[in-house]
A = this chain, B = another copy of it.
């Protein structure tokens, strides 16, 4: 599971793996930096600054006193700060929900594997099989949540199919009806370059898959919760959880999973109100576009690199905010949901590896 090689594809997409360590000083690191998204805007700003400067120096003075810059600088700064804070808040909240999910999965796993007593009179091999099935259901929840947060509503994804293929879900029916739907189409080079550069015209609607179909897609994580609910009901009815508090733990963490699901959907579907997003984009754009008029007076030719430097800083902060606002996607700075899903599976393996002995054996 530890993948440390850094190939080209990884470099530009997918959440960055926290385990990678770079020996370069931070100011020189490229992987994860927002620089690629800035190429187009900086080309525009640079061209504009050059035009203004050349015209001023050669043709006709477009110089304007810089009083406005000072006045608006403060509002621009606070807008960027607002943009960063609210985007980062979403990122942190998304992460906190996945932390809760890891916790709930571990606790539920411990409930199924350690707290729960084996049903009486059942073949031990069957019991073992059922326990493993139950553990898989827990993993399936996190994997299906990952897909749901990426607007992938089907069931036949390689990391999901073997976990829930046997369950009777809306997603399965929709997948069976159109088996090609989960095969990812190769994007043409223009489109993917455009997306990589952040050109809005090249970006498809991320909810495309949800809209294309007329079949009911259901809500896969919610349906898995229903299965887990039945499982816990049965365990309680069968007296497999003899201490009442064990039942409480089971139900509480089922609900915590539900909470995680609803919370992640909230983070996903509630960006900063669009009026703010538009206004802040406009403010920073206007500010940078007005820069060369006011810089060309005091700085002359240096106004061109100065505008680009200022644009780099200002657009940089703006674009990072827009990227991490939805922390569940495939951007380099997004949360590594795959790694979290792997960790849940790994931790459940550790819990299940535990040979349930009497405490007398380890209480010396």
Interface flags, A304-318, vs B, CB<8A=1, else 0: 001001101110110
Q: Report if A69 contacts B (CB, 8 A).
A: yes
With a cutoff of 8 Å between Cβ atoms, the chain B residues found around residue A270 in the complex are: 18, 92, 95, 335
Q: Report if A61 contacts B (CB, 8 A).
A: no
Which of A152-160, A180-188, A350-358 is near enough to bind chain B? A350-358
Give how many copies assemble into the complex. Answer: 5
With a cutoff of 8 Å between Cβ atoms, the chain B residues found around residue A130 in the complex are: 359-360, 363
Contact A229 B27 (CB under 8 A): no
Cα-based distance from A346 to B364 in the complex (angstroms): 21
Contact A364 B222 (CB under 8 A): no
Q: Report if A203 contacts B (CB, 8 A).
A: yes
**Residues 74-113 (chain A) with a chain B CB within 8 angstroms:** 74-82, 84-86, 88, 91-92, 95-96, 99-100, 102-103, 106-107, 110
Contact A310 B33 (CB under 8 A): no
With a cutoff of 8 Å between Cβ atoms, the chain B residues found around residue A67 in the complex are: 66, 69, 294-295, 298-299
Cα-based distance from A89 to B266 in the complex (angstroms): 15
Cα-based distance from A278 to B266 in the complex (angstroms): 29
Given A82-B84, A130-B363, A236-B243, do A203 and B23 touch, yes or no (CB 8 Å)?
yes
With a cutoff of 8 Å between Cβ atoms, the chain B residues found around residue A281 in the complex are: 25-27
With a cutoff of 8 Å between Cβ atoms, the chain B residues found around residue A72 in the complex are: 310, 313
Q: Report if A52 contacts B (CB, 8 A).
A: no
> 29 A-B contacts, Cβ less than 8 Å apart?
A18-B271, A23-B201, A24-B200, A26-B200, A26-B277, A70-B70, A70-B73, A79-B317, A81-B81, A82-B85, A103-B259, A106-B258, A114-B230, A115-B233, A129-B363, A133-B362, A166-B362, A170-B350, A219-B347, A230-B356, A233-B246, A236-B242, A237-B243, A248-B248, A274-B332, A279-B313, A279-B316, A279-B320, A286-B309
Q: Which 10 pairs across A and B sit closest by C-beta, in order of nearness? A: A21-B205, A65-B298, A32-B274, A26-B281, A133-B363, A74-B77, A273-B333, A99-B266, A130-B363, A103-B262
